[in-house]
A and B are shown apart, each in its own frame.
Chain A
Amino acid sequence: MNYADEFRDPVAARGVLAAIARVTDEIGATKEKPVHIMEICGGHTHAIFRYGLDKLTPPGLEFIHGPGCPVCVLPMSRIDECVEIAERPGVIMTTFGDAMRVPGHRKSLIQAKADGADIRMVYSPLDALELARRHPDREVVFFGLGFETTTPSTALTILQAAADNQTNFSVFCNHITVPPPIKALLDDPHMILDGFVGPGHVSMVIGVRPYDFIARDYGKPIVVAGFEPLDLLQSVLMVLEQIRDGRAEVENQYSRVVPDDGNPVSLAACAEVYEPRPSFEWRGLGEIDASGVRIRPAYAAWDAEVKFGVGYGKGPRMVAEPDGCRCGDVMTGRIKPHACPQFGKGCTPEMPLGALMVSSEGACAAYYQYGGLRLEEAL
């Protein structure tokens, strides 16, 4: 038992797939009039393509890929601001690897590194803090990025830096939250979604109650799901059963990892360190109210926006994306990745034009890597 292999069992998968086909049929969904289920999380998007689940499920079931890839929704202006800080003399910028190739208006972090900026990839914010200890003469900045899954790790690192009085360490905070963009999608008059597969690792932090509004106010089912193929298939089945039965509830398929109330230590650390921003810009979705957090004034000594005078609302905000890039339409489910004219031509994982091609959790990168026949058709 390692809590992963058991959730890849092909015999069980046949059973769940047969049940999915049966319930899709009972709903009356067809290829022409499919039921639309959004997997919110980029990790789920990746798993669906990695295991080919979209090819195993019936044509009457269509996956819409949600905005849950933090690198993909990061606006270009934040990359520009990160590059600006990284190019200051004496700065060591630290970042998770997947942010390195996200295009900015001027350059990506990897281009800035090639141009001489000291930018280093780290596995954990704790490694960035360790770097600050080893280089007391330098300013070490961590490019804090991610949803509620990752937000507590940055908060705990700031608390550690504060406890150690490590003043040459700071965080450029870009942490964002899942529920507000879901509400924005549900408020879109062109919304076609019938239900949601909810993010598993975000939910292990925030619990399942923050999704109540989806069922209560919008009448849509949501099932919080794990990341193995059987987790995803079982969750899809649970969403379909709710649709068939006319129910709209918040259910938790990933109960082995997600407690209903989340993780109290993580939530307390976040409440201590962060406060909501009035709004935050999402690539493809625009400004969304209270969808991001910033570091509280009590921890301003560790806030790179304060320390370097760079930050949200300080400079002109350019919302425009590169010419021909349709990341926004892909993100909102209006088009599939291969329908973008740049897909696989001007935009590849090696030379991405849009952010959805950068991260392995991005819908375009998943299509490119695992697209098979559809990819050949598109090219």
Chain B
Amino acid sequence: MGVRRQVNVACILKDEPIEALIGTWSLIHVGFAMSRINEEEAALTLDVLRQLGEAQVEIEAMQASERMLAS
């Protein structure tokens, strides 16, 4: 599955051995790792999105219930 390829990690390496990158996610562009995915920020963004989704499910349930009672 997928593609194996050598990439340059100079842009995402901080003061740390290269092994520190193992197990982390990175955005790769034209052979260069350009940004390490910030997993905490990803979780925060997903939380907001889930709340919007859940709120909508609740609103739709309330509307359906109102329609049922009105009929």
Task: Please give the residue numbers on chain A whose beta carbons come within 8 Å of chain B beta carbons, in ascending order.
Answer: 1-3, 6-7, 9, 11-16, 18-19, 96, 123-127, 149-150, 152-153, 156, 201, 204-205, 230, 234, 253, 255-259, 263, 265-266
Residues of B within 8 A of A (CB-CB), count: 33
- In contact, B30 and A253 (Cβ under 8 angstroms): no
CB-defined contacts of B34 to chain A, threshold 8 Å:
149, 152, 201, 204-205, 263, 266
Known: A256-B42, A257-B38. A18 touches B8 (CB 8 A): no
Residues from chain A with Cβ under 8 Å of B32 in the complex: 124, 152-153, 156
- Mask for B25-42, Cβ within 8 A of A = 1, else 0? 101011110110111011
B contact residues vs A (CB 8 Å cutoff) = 5, 8, 10-13, 25, 27, 29-32, 34-35, 37-39, 41-42, 44-46, 48-57, 59
Q: Name which residue of chain B comes closest to A262, CB basis.
A: B35
Which residues of the other chain, B, contact A13 by a CB distance below 8 angstroms? Answer: 53
CB proximity of B64 to chain A, nearest CB, Å: 14
Contact of A257 among B35, B48, B50 (CB under 8 A): B35
> Which residues in A have their C-beta under 8 angstroms from that of B52?
12, 15-16, 18-19, 234
In contact, A125 and B30 (Cβ under 8 angstroms): yes
Chain A residues, CB < 8 A from B51: 15
20 further interface pairs, Cβ-Cβ under 8 Å (given A3-B37, A255-B41, A263-B34): A6-B46, A12-B53, A14-B56, A15-B56, A16-B49, A18-B59, A125-B31, A127-B31, A150-B30, A152-B34, A156-B32, A204-B27, A205-B34, A255-B38, A255-B44, A256-B38, A256-B41, A256-B42, A257-B37, A265-B13
CB contacts between A and B, total, < 8 Å = 106
Closest beta carbon of chain A to B52's beta carbon, Å? 4
On chain A, the residues within 8 Å of B8 by CB distance are 126, 153, 156
Within the assembled complex, what's the spacing in Å between the Cα atoms of A9 and B25? 20
